[in-house]
Amino acid sequence: MYPITRLRRLRQTAELRDMIRETHLHIEDFVYPMFVCPGKNIKEEIVSMPGQYRYSVDNLVEVCSQLYNKGLKSVMLFGIPEYKDETGSASMHDHGIVQIALNELKARVPGLVTIADVCLCEYTSHGHCGAIVDGDVHNDQTELLAKQAVSFANAGAGMIAPSDMMDGRIAALRNALDTQGYTNLPIMAYSAKFASAFYGPFREAADSAPKFGDRKTYQMDVANAREALREIEQDVLEGADIVMVKPAMAFLDIVSQARQQFSLPIAAYNVSGEYAMVKAAAANGWIDGQRVMTETLLSIKRAGADIILTYFVPDIIDELGKVSHK
């Protein structure tokens, strides 16, 4: 007890604080979500996500090469298609925008782990994540997602990440991939994906807002923790290799509980709205943006995430580089 015990003793210098720090960020912790679009020499800033862009394949490959040379190990790709239809067919053929990007990255940056988001919302005219039957999102028609996943695998994806939140889709995709010989291709499941208001900027970036209704019948109620663990357990049983909680900041309790209950890797997605809030407040001088970014990412890691998907990747890589060169 005080005064024998003085917890401030080990906070007296930066060197002491570094010595006893419990949680550390490493470049290997991060996955960078990126948006790829048709065309050439395109770098179009996303207004609600300062510092983030829609890239044509040539520019995307160049940025990925630069980040890989700084230590980044993995990117997640979201496609902006040339056209949309009811079934999202632009996402399922060899000349889809993500497929082209995957092929180019495999050739130009072969050590980079490429993760392909599997979902229909960016590619469909209705903006929902699954097939529409009688005016509603049909859960069991997973063959469209399976076709998309196999197409991404054919193009060289190092991992697929289904984000649709349909029941049973992990088993369906695992079966489709295994049938085509992709038994070693990992699946990172968006297992506890909440129907959150934090996705707003992403929907601008990917032009993926639903044209009718909302996603509350398939994405999770933001109030439910026990159900989130049931969703994660179901995906584990169906064959997921990594499970994800999305969003991250408002759901750190879910990350922590998942870490305690499951032994496989846990990912957390620091989503567009979380990123945009920090950038907007920093631009107005209300917060120290770099420090808030670092605290945010540390909190996700401290809660138990092994993998952090975040738009802060270029900033945190530079920040970690400064620390390593002290």
What distance in Å separates the CA atoms of residue 49 and residue 184, rounded to the nearest whole number?
35
- Measured at the CA of 33, the angle between CA 129 and CA 69, to 5 degrees, comes to 155
Helix (H, G, I), strand (E, B), or coil: what is residue 112? coil
* 13 within domain boundaries: no
Amino acid identity of residue 307, one-letter, is I
Domain membership of residue 27 (yes or no) is yes
Contact 123, 90 (CB under 8 A): yes
Q: Which amino acid is at 252?
A: L
Cα–Cα separations (whole angstroms), residue 179 to 141, 150, 183, 184, 228: 18, 10, 8, 12, 30
AA letter at 41: N
* Residue 3 forms part of a structural domain: no
Question: CA–CA separation, 204 vs 152, rounded Å?
Answer: 24
3-state secondary structure at position 322: helix
The pLDDT of residue 216 = 77
Residue 141: give its domain's CATH number.
3.20.20.70
293, part of any domain: yes
Classify residue 250 by its DSSP letter: G
| pTM for this predicted structure | 0.94
Among candidates 222, 221, 231, 218, which has minimal Cα distance to 189?
231
Q: At what angle do helices 169-179 and 226-238 cross, to 10 degrees?
A: 20
Integer Cα distance of 316 and 270 in angstroms:
13
The answer to whether 132 and 77 have CB atoms below 8 angstroms apart is no
Domain count, the chain: 1
Say how far residue 241 (Cα) sits from the centre of its chain.
Answer: 15
pLDDT for the residue 128: 76
For position 273, what pLDDT does the model report?
96
Which residue numbers are catalytic?
193, 246
Is 85 within the bounds of a domain? yes
In a domain, 15, yes or no: no
E-only strand ranges, the chain: 30-37, 43-45, 53-56, 74-79, 113-118, 132-133, 136-137, 159-162, 188-193, 242-246, 266-270, 307-310
Among 25, 100, 8, 118, smallest CA distance to 57 is for 100
pLDDT, averaged per 10 consecutive residues of the chain (326 residues), comes to 94 95 97 97 95 97 97 96 83 92 97 94 77 76 88 97 89 97 98 94 77 77 97 97 97 98 98 97 98 98 98 96 65
Grouping H, G, I as helix, E, B as strand and the rest as coil, residue 144 is helix
Helix (H, G, I), strand (E, B) or coil at 311: coil
Q: Are strands 53-56 and 43-45 parallel, antiparallel or unpaired?
A: antiparallel
* Cβ atoms within 10 Å of 222's Cβ, excluding its own: 15
In this structure, is residue 18 part of a structural domain? no
pLDDT at 220: 92
Residues 103, 162, 206: CA angle, nearest 5 degrees = 70
Judge whether 17 lies within some domain.
Answer: no
Residue range(s) defining the domain that contains residue 125: 23-324
